[in-house]
Structure 1
Amino acid sequence: MNPYLLFFLAFASSAAVPGPEIAALLSRSLSHGMRSSLPLAVGIISGKLVMLTTAVLGLAVLLHVLGPAFALLKWAGVGYLLWLGINKWRKAGKPLTTAEASLGKPSLEFGLGMAMTLSNPLALAFYMALLPNVIPLADIGPGSYLLLCGIIIATMLLITLGYGLLAEASRAVFRSPRAKANIDRGSGSIMLGVALLLASR
């Protein structure tokens, strides 16, 4: 089997499994629509590209040295998610103000996506274990590296689109004020759950 196809299948099957990143994307899409989850998705994809680059360059040691900085990222993400979750519960069913509807601060959403990905120690282990068995690290040149980046970006865009469309369909079905309140509470609960998952890693 083609090694890049093998990498794609392994990465796609791992990335598509609902975890903290997918749960956060779903929650964001349920609350404010699919478009609102884009900064978060870009942050998650960027984090995965950083992890791939780190694995390719063999910088696992650097990650170990920078451990405290990554721990800070993790706890900042946990705090932000807790705040989002509690806020959704407090305002469940209430009409959005213009400021809330526009979401604002995409940099925070981007940072959250990066933090969730980079604070996961299993992510680097995945790349470090997969790559040598599929494509020897010594054989990865600029062209191979760009192809791997393209696979990650395309796969994550498809996964984000799939889950986003699922959330959009749910929003279209539940339009009454009571249903909105339930969606808000569900979205808030997902955010709180993601915060607990992150904290436990």
Structure 2
Amino acid sequence: MVDAGQRPLRADARRNREKILTAAVRVFAAEGLDAHLERIAKEAGVGSATLYRNFPTREALVEAVYRNEVAQLCDAAPTLLAAKPPYEALRAWTRLFLDYVTAKYGMIDALRAIAATGSNPYGHSRAMIRTALASLMDACAAAGTIRTDISPTDLSAALEGIALTSARPEQRAQAERLLDLTLDGLKTCP
């Protein structure tokens, strides 16, 4: 992602940035706010100077990771719809939503700290996620596989509830059972 007024990154710089973001997700999920940035750089296979050139502060890195994760989650909706029947695409996307929440769980304290400074790391993320979910639900409704009396806001609230109660990696089996129960409740009656 390039901000207005910035030149696009060279291909190698873009790859390094992506490697840092990918490593940061893993390290923050495992270690939370106390994760050492040098560990992230090492895990990404880059030097500390490369990490700090891309992300001058911990807060900048956390916010970039969060925004990148939201974008990847939302970008997955059309990809899944192109590859799977609508209901299966919705089911697969809800699993990606769990992955997203699990990764965010390790960063929650850092995101709260950033929000406390007046920055809004969440920005338009909730609306972006609901838009992606709406596209999946619309495709399912058009295919006749889910009820039409449930809104994306309703399903989003259900997904958030599941995530709040089952966000830890060791709770994944329970979270998937709750997702299945929720999605089964959306199906149209045969």
TM-score relative to the length of structure 2: 0.33
TM-score, scaled to structure 1: 0.31
Which structure has greater helix proportion? Answer: 1
